[in-house]
Amino acid sequence: MADERAVHPVGEESGVRWEETWTAGDLLLLTGYGPGGPRARAYDARTGDPAGPLLDTPPLSLLLDTPGGDPSVAHAEGHDLVLRDPRTGRVRERLAGAVPWDPEHLLHVRVAEVAGRPLVLFLDSDTPRSYARWAVDPATGAPVDELRGAWNCDHEHERFAVAGPYLVVQAHEEEAYFFDDGVDICYNSMLHLHGMPSGERIGEVERRAGWHPVAAVVGGRPLLSDGRRVLSLPDLEVVADFEGLADEIAALAEWDGEPVALATRRAWRGADAPDILEARPLARPQESTPIAHSPRYIDSVSVGPDGTVAFLTESGARLWA
Fold classification of 20-257 is Methylamine Dehydrogenase; Chain H (2.130.10)
Confidence class of residue 38 from pLDDT cuts 50, 70 and 90? very high
Q: Report whether pLDDT(154) > 60.
A: no
- 9-27 residue pLDDT tens: 999 998 999 999 999 999 9
CA atoms within a 13 Å half-sphere pointing along the CA-CB vector of 116: 1
What is the distance between the alpha carbons of residues 291 and 151, in angstroms, rounded to a whole number?
A: 39
Burial class, 293, CB count within 10 angstroms (exposed 0-12 / middle 13-18 / buried 19+):
middle
Residue 291, C-beta contacts closer than 8 angstroms, at least 6 positions apart = 2, 7, 262, 277, 278, 279, 309, 320
Give the pLDDT mean for 122-129.
64
Give the pLDDT mean for 216-243.
96
Residue 107, C-beta contacts closer than 8 angstroms, at least 6 positions apart = 60, 123, 124, 125, 131, 157, 158, 159
Q: Report whether pLDDT(96) > 70.
A: yes
Confidence class of residue 213 from pLDDT cuts 50, 70 and 90? confident
Q: Is the peptide bond before 128 cis (omega within 30 degrees of 0)?
A: no
Q: Which of 107, 101, 252, 81 is nearest to 169 (CA)?
A: 107
| 142 φ/ψ angles, rounded to the nearest 5 degrees | -80, 140
- 126-152 residue pLDDT tens: 555 566 677 888 888 888 877 776 554
User: Domain residue spans in the chain?
Assistant: 20-257
Q: Order of strands across the sheet with 17-24? A: 17-24, 27-34, 37-44, 55-56
* Contact indicator for 302, 311 with CB cutoff of 8 Å: yes
User: What is the Cα Rg of the chain in Å?
Assistant: 20
Confidence class of residue 62 from pLDDT cuts 50, 70 and 90? confident
Helices and strands: H and E segment counts in the chain: 0, 28
What is the distance between the alpha carbons of residues 221 and 275, in angstroms, rounded to a whole number?
A: 29
Mean pLDDT computed over every residue of the chain: 85
Fill in the DSSP letter of residue 50.
B
* Contact indicator for 106, 76 with CB cutoff of 8 Å: yes
* Cα distance between the two ends of the chain: 10
The pTM of this model reads 0.85
* Contact indicator for 87, 73 with CB cutoff of 8 Å: no
